[in-house]
Amino acid sequence: MFHRLCLLPFVMLAPCAGLAATVHTDLASFLTAAPGAAVETFESLCVGEAVTSLPTPHYDFGLLGNGQDPVGYAQSNGGTVSSGVRTIVNSGNALFPGAGPIVVAADAGYEITGFGYWNTGGDDTTRLTAFVGGASVLSEVSAFGAVFLGFAGMSGVSSLSISGETGNGWFSIDDMWVETAAMPAVPLPATSVLLLAALGAVGAAAHRKRPSK
C-alpha cells in the first residue's frame, strides 16, 4: 500500500520494515545528506553512445531489459527533447533508456550510500528501488512528472534500479548523483574470538609440554 504525499508532481512511498534510507524530493536536501555524491550529467555522451564510455567511480551500469547498454538520447534543444513533454536538465543530453530498468550496481568491496536523479519525463512515472545483496528490497519510491528523487543515508545497498511504471515503460532521466563508500569490515563474532583464544591457549600448552632435546 502506498502513501501519497501532498505534492504536485506527486511522490509515492513504499514503507519498508527496518528502513535505513531517507527519501529526498529536492536536490538541496539530498546534497546536504549525501555530501560525497558525484554527479553525472551525461552531457559528454553523443546521441546513441553507450554509458560504458562514462567514468563510473566504484559503480557500474547494468544492461537494460533488451540486453543493451543505456545510451545518450537527444542533444540540447532549448531544454526539451523531441517528444515535447520530456525536459533536459542543464539543456544538455539526457539518458533515455528505451527499455528499462536502468540498474546501477556498486563495485566489489563498495556500497551505495546515496543516489538521486531527475525524472525528466513530464508524463512518466518512475520507481527508484534500492536493493541489499541484489535481491532484498531496502526501500522504494515512485514519482510522476519532472521531479527530483533521491535516497541518502543508506547502508549495505549493492544496487539500485530506475524503472518506468506508466505507458510503454519508456522514460528519461538526467543528472544522476551517486555516493559510494567502502564496505565496512565485518567483525568476528564473539564465539569465534573465544575459539581462537582457546586454540591459542591449547597450542601454547602443547608447546610447553614438548620435551626438550
Does residue 69 belong to any structural domain of this protein?
yes
Does residue 171 belong to any structural domain of this protein?
yes
Does residue 27 belong to any structural domain of this protein?
yes
pLDDT tier at 123, thresholds 50, 70, 90: low
Q: Give the model confidence (pLDDT) of 8-32 as tens digits.
A: 344 554 444 334 689 999 999 999 9
Does residue 39 belong to any structural domain of this protein?
yes
Q: Give the model confidence (pLDDT) of 100-115 as tens digits.
A: 688 999 999 999 999 9
Does residue 129 belong to any structural domain of this protein?
yes
Q: Give the model confidence (pLDDT) of 141-196 as tens digits.
A: 887 777 889 999 998 899 999 888 875 567 788 889 999 999 877 665 556 556 55
Q: What is the mean pLDDT of residues 76-101?
A: 61
pLDDT tier at 202, thresholds 50, 70, 90: low
Does residue 157 belong to any structural domain of this protein?
yes
Q: Looking at residue 119, what is its pLDDT? A: 84
Q: Which of 2-6, 61-65, 152-156 has the weakest average pLDDT? A: 2-6
Domain that holds residue 143: 3-185
- DSSP-derived secondary structure letter, 162: E
CB atoms within 10 A of CB 160: 24
Are the beta carbons of 148 and 181 closer than 8 angstroms? no
- Helix locations, the chain, DSSP H: 27-33, 190-209
Pairwise CA distance, residues 75 & 47, whole Å: 7
Q: What is the mean pLDDT of residues 46-68?
A: 85
Q: Looking at residue 181, what is its pLDDT? A: 94
- Please, is 154 exposed, middle or buried when counting C-beta atoms within 10 Å of its C-beta (0-12, 13-18, 19+)? buried
128: closest CA among 162, 152, 97? 162
Query: In this predicted model, which residue has the larger pLDDT, 105 or 199?
Result: 105
Q: What is the mean pLDDT of residues 43-71?
A: 85
Q: Looking at residue 41, what is its pLDDT? A: 84
Read off the CATH number of the domain in which 79 is found: 2.60.120
Does residue 196 belong to any structural domain of this protein?
no
pLDDT tier at 2, thresholds 50, 70, 90: very low
pLDDT tier at 48, thresholds 50, 70, 90: confident
Sequence letter at residue 102? I
Does residue 203 belong to any structural domain of this protein?
no
Residues 6+ apart with CB under 8 A from 107: 58, 59, 60, 180
Q: How many domains does the chain have?
A: 1
